[in-house]
Chain A
Amino acid sequence: MRRVPALTRRQLMVMAVTWSAAGAVLAVAPQGAAILGIGLAFTAGLSALWSP
């Protein structure tokens, strides 16, 4: 599987840590779980554009 989009290991690590930290902050917000669920569902829906 190709690494997307040609990220270095360091860039991947920074990305994972940064977004995980943002997620930890979002988790304590009111309705944080619902917001995350909506974000995931929306992303999954748009990703269907790439369906075979």
Chain B
Amino acid sequence: MVGTMVPIVYGARDNRAYGVVVSHTAGLLIGSFLLGLTLWWAFGLAFGASRAVGGGELVLSVVAALYGLHHLGVVRLPIPSLRWQVPARWRGSRRRGWVAFAYGLGLGVGLLTHVQTASMYFAGLLAAVSLNAATAGFIMATFGLARALPLIVFVGRADSAGLAFAFNDTVLRHRAVMATANGVMLFLLAGAGLSWFLR
């Protein structure tokens, strides 16, 4: 992801890169915050103000545990996902700030693009059942923030492109870290779901 960002790979090492990263980060945060609000509103519409679904906690617990095992390679389950990509022609646009913002907005919504892990769906579910709309928005905004972090880390470095590619290579060699982190988070959720059900 880092390697595809406009200022690092295709742009010069100038101050405009900061502006582009700020635009992109703003897009990510706004897109993901709006996703949280939308999920919260839609869930309330579907299940009422109480947001209670009978036995839902038990189902959540079992499904989260299964997806935890999926990320650890024990079982194989589908992760529904769209394959929309940012149009390649955007790269050539002169309005880099707007392109970066729109790019961030699309990625921030998350569910419209490739979804790498089941954690995204469970985070969305917890946002949907949260106490209020602001909490839902902030939960999903964390997704946008995490997506922006690598860019924020690299933008100020003198040799951003080289560093970014080296980082990308390292990341790709350590796929197990991502899988294990997702497995752990989903087991945490499985335990929490069971606890909520038994309470």
The interface residues of chain A lying within 8 Å CB-to-CB of B176 are 4-5
Known pairs A43-B182, A43-B185, A50-B172; A37 contacts B123 (CB<8 A): yes
Cβ-based interface call for B12 (8 A): no
The listed residue with most B CB atoms (<10 A of its CB), out of A20, A24, A37, is A37
Q: Which residue of A lies closest to B83 (CB)?
A: A52
Asked whether B158 is an interface residue with its Cβ less than 8 Å from the other chain, the reply is: no
| A25 to B143 Cα, complex, angstroms | 24
Interface residues on chain B, number (Cβ under 8 Å):
64
Q: Smallest CB-CB separation from B3: which chain A residue?
A: A49
Q: Count A-B pairs with CB separation below 8 Å.
A: 174
Whether A20 and B188, one on each chain, are in contact in the complex, defined by CB atoms closer than 8 angstroms, is: yes
Known: A36-B126, A40-B185. A4 touches B117 (CB 8 A): no
- When chains A and B are docked, how far (Å) is the Cα of A44 from the Cα of B186? 11
Interface flags for A8-30 (1: CB within 8 Å of B; 0: not) read 00001001100111111111100
**Neighbour of B72 across the interface among A4, A32, A38, A44, CB < 8 A:** A4
Given A1-B73, A23-B188, A34-B139, 6 other A-B contacts at CB below 8 A? Answer: A5-B180, A12-B69, A37-B123, A41-B127, A41-B143, A45-B149
Question: Ordered nearest first, which 8 A-B pairs have the shortest CB separation?
Answer: A45-B146, A23-B191, A20-B191, A37-B126, A23-B188, A19-B187, A27-B192, A27-B195
A-B contact pairs, 25 of them (CB 8 A): A1-B73, A3-B72, A3-B74, A4-B71, A15-B72, A19-B184, A23-B190, A23-B195, A24-B194, A26-B191, A26-B192, A34-B139, A36-B185, A37-B126, A37-B127, A40-B123, A41-B140, A41-B141, A41-B143, A42-B146, A45-B146, A46-B178, A47-B117, A48-B1, A49-B178
